[in-house]
């Protein structure tokens, strides 16, 4: 009996553990698609709320519309990246989400300052945002401080949660980026990874 060995190409491992998320239960492509759909729905909802808002501060309004439009553009590019399987189309999303994390850190810091010192400069900004006059009578001073602290605490909690969500989104989309990069590389190399399979013959 003699044994000879032949080589064959190893198929690209689409479902390898490094290309899965959610405790290895979902492929990163599906995870990215879910994220894109969820964020698109949120962006459309935010745009509707913005359009029908009765009172809009000029500065906050510009920042909000810029954020919404930027998100819509980035998500459009992300969908194109998914469709075309082009990892480079995922990079704008990763950059945008990283910027949103920095913005969230800024809001968390402002919330901490406002909570610690409701009558400080940041506290006054919160007072204006919630439409409370800084010229309130002394007997209502406690109510004003309480309102600022509540809004500040809410801001801290919400943006802390948002930061965690952004980090998870980046984690999933970045893994999908690696998947597409590796997949395209395998295609370019014509999948040169090899394995052997024993072929048994009887003398």
Rounded Cα distance, 135 and 158, in Å: 29
Rounded Cα distance, 34 and 44, in Å: 16
Model pTM above 0.85 = no
Residues of the chain scoring pLDDT < 70: 1-10, 54-60, 130-142, 191-203
Per-domain residue ranges for the chain?
2-201
Please answer whether residues 119 and 167 qualify as being in contact, where contact means their C-beta atoms are separated by less than 8 angstroms: no
Q: Supply the pLDDT for residue 123.
A: 84
Q: Supply the pLDDT for residue 141.
A: 52
CA-derived radius of gyration, the chain? 26
pLDDT tens string 169-196: 999 999 999 999 999 888 888 754 433 3
Q: Which of helix, strand or coil describes residue 120?
A: coil
Q: Where are the alpha helices (DSSP H) in 27-140?
A: 28-51, 58-84, 91-116, 121-129
């Amino acid at each position: 009996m003699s044994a000879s060995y032949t080589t064959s190409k190893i198929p690209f491992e689409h479902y390898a553990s490094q290309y899965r998320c959610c405790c290895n239960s979902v492929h990163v492509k599906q995870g990215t698609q879910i994220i894109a759909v969820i964020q698109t729905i949120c962006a459309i909802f935010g745009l509707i709320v913005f359009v029908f808002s009765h009172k809009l501060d000029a500065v906050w309004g510009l920042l909000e519309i810029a954020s919404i439009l930027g998100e819509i553009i980035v998500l459009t590019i992300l969908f194109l990246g998914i469709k075309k399987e082009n990892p480079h189309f995922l990079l704008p999303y990763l950059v945008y989400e990283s910027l949103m994390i920095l913005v969230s850190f800024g809001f968390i810091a402002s919330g901490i300052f406002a909570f610690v010192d409701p009558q400080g400069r940041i506290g006054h900004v919160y007072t204006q945002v919630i439409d409370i006059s800084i010229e309130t009578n002394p007997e209502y001073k406690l109510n004003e401080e309480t309102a600022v602290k509540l809004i500040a605490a809410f801001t801290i909690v919400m943006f802390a949660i948002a930061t965690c969500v952004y980090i998870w989104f980046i984690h999933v989309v970045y893994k999908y980026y690696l998947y597409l990069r590796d997949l395209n590389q395998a295609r370019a190399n014509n999948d040169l990874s090899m394995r052997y399979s024993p072929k048994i013959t009887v003398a």
